[in-house]
A and B are shown apart, each in its own frame.
Chain A
Amino acid sequence: MHIRLYPYVLLLMSGLYLSTGCKKPFMPPAISAPTHFLVVDGFINAGAGGVTTILLSRTRSLVDTLPNIPETHAQVSIEDQAGGSFPLQEQGTNGTYLSQPLQLNPSGQYRLAITTADGSSYQSDFVNCKLTPPIDSVTWQQPGDLTISVSTHDPANSTHYYRWDYKETWEYHAQLETPWGLKNGIIFATDSTNQTYKCWSTVGSSNILLGSSSSLSQDVIYELPIEVIPQNDERLAVRYSMLLEQYALTLDAYNYWQTVQKNSQQLGTLFDLQPSQVTGNIHALSGSGQPVIGYVSASSVQQQRIFIYETQLTGWLANPSGGYGCPLSQTPVDPNNFTIFTDTDPNDAPYYFITGGPLVVSKKPCLDCTYNGGTNIKPSFW
Chain B
Amino acid sequence: MRHPHLLWLICCLLLTAVWQTAPGQRPAEISGDFEGYSFSRLVEQIEARTPYRFFYDSTQTDSLVIHVSGSHLLIRDLLDLVFRQTDFHYAIDPEGRIFVIRKFPIQSSLPPHYFDPGNPSRAPGGLPEELNGPEDAGPVKDRLKVSPENKLFDIGSPTARQAGNRAVIAGYLRDVKSGEPIIGATVYVDSPAVIATTDQFGYYSLSLPRGKHLIKISAFGMKPTRRQVILHSDGKLNIELQEYVASLKAVVVTAKKGSGPRSIQMGVNRLTIKTIKQVPVVFGEADVLKVVLTLPGVTSVGESSNGFNVRGGSTDQNLILFNDATIYNPSHLFGFFSAFNPDVVKGIELYKSAIPEKYGGRLSSVLDVSIRDGNNKKWSGSAGIGPLTSKITLEGPIKKEKTSLIAAVRTTYSDWLLKAIPDNSYSKSSANFYDVNFHLTHIANARNTLYLTGYMSQDRFNLNNDTTYKYANKNLNLKWKHIFNNSLFAVLTAGVDHYQYAVSSTQNPVNAYQLGFDISQLYVRADFSYAPSNRHTFSYGLNTMRYQLNPGSFNPIGPRSLIVQNTVPTEQALESALYLGDQYSVSSNLSVNAGIRYSLFNYLGPHDVYNYSPGLPRETVTLQDTSHYPGGKAIKTYHGPEFRFSMRYTLSDNASLKFSFNTLQQYIHLLSNTTTISPTDIWKLSDPHIAPQQGNQLSLGYYHNFRSNMFETSVEVYYKQLHNYLDYKSGASLVLNHHIETDVFTTRGKAYGIELLVKKTAGKVNGWLSYTFSRTFLKQDDPLAGELINGGRYYPASFDKPHNLNFIGNYRFSHRYSLSVNLIYSTGRPITIPIAVYNVGGSSTLYYSERNQYRIPDYFRSDISVNLDGNHRVKQKTHNSWSAGIYNVTGRQNAYSVYFIQENGKVKGYQLSIFGTLIPFVTYNIKF
Question: Which chain A residues have a beta carbon within 8 Å of chain B's beta carbons?
Answer: 1-12, 15-28, 30-31, 33, 35-37, 39, 41, 57-65, 68, 163, 165, 204-208, 212-215, 255, 257-279, 291, 293-294
Contact = CB atoms under 8 A, between A and B. Distances in A.
Contact of A23 (B833, B848, B912, B926): B912
A262 B731 contact: yes
A270 B503 contact: yes
A215 B624 contact: yes
A259 B731 contact: yes
A258 B613 contact: no
Given A3-B928, A6-B384, A21-B913, A264 B923 contact: no
Contacts of B382: 3-6
Interface of B: 283-285, 378-387, 417, 420-423, 426, 467, 503, 515, 612-613, 616, 619, 621-624, 673-677, 680, 728-736, 743, 787, 790-791, 832-851, 854, 856, 893, 895, 898-902, 906-928
B64 to A, nearest CB: 34
6 contacts: A2-B378, A23-B913, A259-B787, A271-B736, A276-B832, A291-B847
Contacts of A8: 384-386, 923-926
Chain A to chain B: the 9 pairs with minimum beta-carbon distance, closest first: A276-B730, A262-B731, A268-B901, A59-B836, A212-B621, A9-B386, A19-B916, A26-B911, A11-B387
B463 to A, nearest CB: 11
A270 B515 contact: yes
A270 B732 contact: no
A277 B743 CA distance: 15
Contacts of B843: 206-208, 260-261, 264
A7 B838 contact: no
Contact of B901 (A5, A257, A267): A267
B381 A4 contact: yes
B921 A21 contact: no
Contacts of B909: 25-28, 31, 62
B730 A11 contact: no
Contacts of B616: 214-215
B926 A276 contact: no
A12 B838 contact: no
A5 B421 contact: no
Given A6-B382, A6-B384, A163-B841, 14 more contacts: A5-B383, A7-B285, A11-B922, A16-B919, A23-B910, A26-B895, A37-B847, A59-B837, A60-B838, A62-B837, A260-B841, A263-B845, A274-B733, A276-B729
Contact of B380 (A1, A30, A271, A274): A1
Contacts of B845: 260, 263-264, 278
A183 B676 CA distance: 53
Contacts of A271: 733, 735-736
Interface centre among A37, A212, A278, A291 (most CB of B within 10 A): A278
B901 A30 contact: no
A20 to B, nearest CB: 5
A11 B835 CA distance: 43
Given A22-B914, A268-B676, A275 B730 contact: yes
Contacts of B619: 212
A168 to B, nearest CB: 12
A291 B850 CA distance: 11
| Interface of A, helix, strand, loop or mixed by DSSP | loop
B612 to A, nearest CB: 7
A205 B839 contact: no
Contacts of B915: 18
A364 B262 CA distance: 92
A64 B844 CA distance: 13
A94 to B, nearest CB: 11
Contacts of A10: 387, 922-924
Contacts of B854: 28, 30
A4 B835 contact: no
Contact of A276 (B503, B848, B913): B848
Contacts of A205: 841-842
A60 B837 contact: yes
Contacts of B842: 165, 204-208
B902 A12 contact: no
Contact of B846 (A18, A19, A263): A263
Given A9-B283, A263-B848, A41 B840 contact: yes
Given A6-B382, A26-B910, A62-B834, A17 B917 contact: yes
B224 to A, nearest CB: 27
Contacts of A275: 675, 730-731, 832-834, 846, 848
Nearest to A28: B854
Looking at A2, A26, A271, the one whose CB has the most chain B CB atoms below 10 A away is: A26
Contacts of B899: 267-268
Contacts of A4: 380-383, 926-928
Nearest to A66: B837
Contacts of A61: 835-837
A205 B285 CA distance: 57
A200 to B, nearest CB: 19
A277 B378 CA distance: 65
B838 A214 contact: no
B383, B386, B843: most-surrounded residue (chain A CB, <10 A): B843
A87 B283 CA distance: 71
Contacts of B787: 255, 259, 276
B148 to A, nearest CB: 26
A271 B673 CA distance: 8
